[in-house]
């Protein structure tokens, strides 16, 4: 399934400081009330997420490896970008004006995204590569060998379909595994005050596929701009 999920988000009326969007390997088609449609390309670090008070966002998220085909452009061209849907011929942006009611926007986003993946199927090899690279301990060269292609060819196809080369994709998917654990409250992380108070962090790092806790800390700083402890507190 090339579509990962549909989602809705409403900005609080008080204009609270929004959390940045963190890399997850996905690409989103997003409708914003009063604005219209845009596409959020894959990220390599924390991305600002402007959210006017009371704004409603409706999105369709393409799983890692599916966005390039659905959008009809190499995703490497959309890396760390937010692009007006009108600039992407594959998206019928005229059907997603900002004046829509949120329920109608959801219906249209779902229908448009479904047609996009049906009309432009994903590169199945890259989808399988993303699945394999999402496993703890995955290595790009071993995945390429398992798929029966060269590492260079895997890199080229991954960059077109997912935006990243396989090594970067593996890093992002590993970080997403860690985020899923802290979001689930693993080891009591969200309530802890500092890095020193994280007795379960080394275990979580190992479960997610990091060499050790220091490796996780370096990657968290690069991909989220925060230490793991600060990241856990920010996501409470």
Model pLDDT for residues 26-55, shown as the tens digit of each residue = 999 999 999 999 999 999 999 988 889 999
pLDDT value of residue 30? 97
- Determine how β-strand 56-62 pairs with β-strand 27-32: antiparallel
Question: For residue range 171-191, what is the model confidence (pLDDT) as tens digits?
Answer: 999 999 999 988 887 545 544
Read off the DSSP letter of residue 36.
E
Would you kindly state where each structural domain of the chain is located, as residue ranges?
3-119, 124-236
Buried b (16+ CB within 10 A) or exposed e, 55-84: bbbbbbbbbbbbbbbbbebebbebeeebbe
Residue 60 CA to residue 35 CA, distance in Å, equals 17
Average pLDDT over residues 151-169: 97
CA 83 to chain centre: 15
CA 109 to chain centre: 18
Q: Mean pLDDT across the chain, nearest whole number?
A: 91
Q: Residue 122: pLDDT band by 50, 70, 90 thresholds?
A: very high
Number of H helices, E strands in the chain: 9, 5
Question: Topology of domain 124-236, per CATH?
Answer: Arc Repressor Mutant, subunit A (1.10.10)
């Amino acid at each position: 399934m090339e579509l990962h999920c549909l989602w809705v988000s409403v900005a609080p009326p008080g204009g609270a400081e929004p959390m940045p969007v963190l890399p997850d390997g996905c690409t989103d088609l997003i409708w914003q009330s009063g604005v219209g449609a845009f596409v959020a390309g894959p990220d390599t670090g924390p991305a600002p997420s402007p959210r006017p008070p009371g704004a409603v966002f409706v999105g369709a998220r393409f799983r890692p490896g599916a966005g390039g085909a659905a959008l009809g452009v190499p995703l490497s061209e959309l890396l760390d970008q937010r692009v007006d849907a009108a600039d992407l011929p594959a998206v019928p942006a005229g059907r997603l004006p900002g004046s829509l009611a949120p329920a109608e926007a959801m219906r249209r986003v779902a229908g448009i995204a479904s047609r996009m993946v049906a009309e432009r199927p994903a590169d199945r090899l890259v989808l399988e590569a993303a699945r394999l690279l999402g496993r703890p301990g995955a290595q790009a060269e071993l995945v390429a060998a398992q798929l029966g292609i060269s590492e260079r060819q895997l890199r080229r196809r991954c960059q077109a379909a997912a935006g990243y080369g396989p090594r970067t994709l593996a890093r992002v998917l590993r970080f997403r595994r860690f985020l899923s654990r802290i979001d689930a409250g693993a080891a009591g992380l969200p309530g802890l005050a500092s890095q020193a108070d994280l007795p379960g962090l080394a275990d979580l790092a190992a479960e997610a596929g990091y060499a050790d806790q220091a490796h996780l800390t370096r990657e968290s700083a690069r991909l989220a701009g925060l230490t793991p402890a600060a990241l856990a507190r920010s996501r409470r």
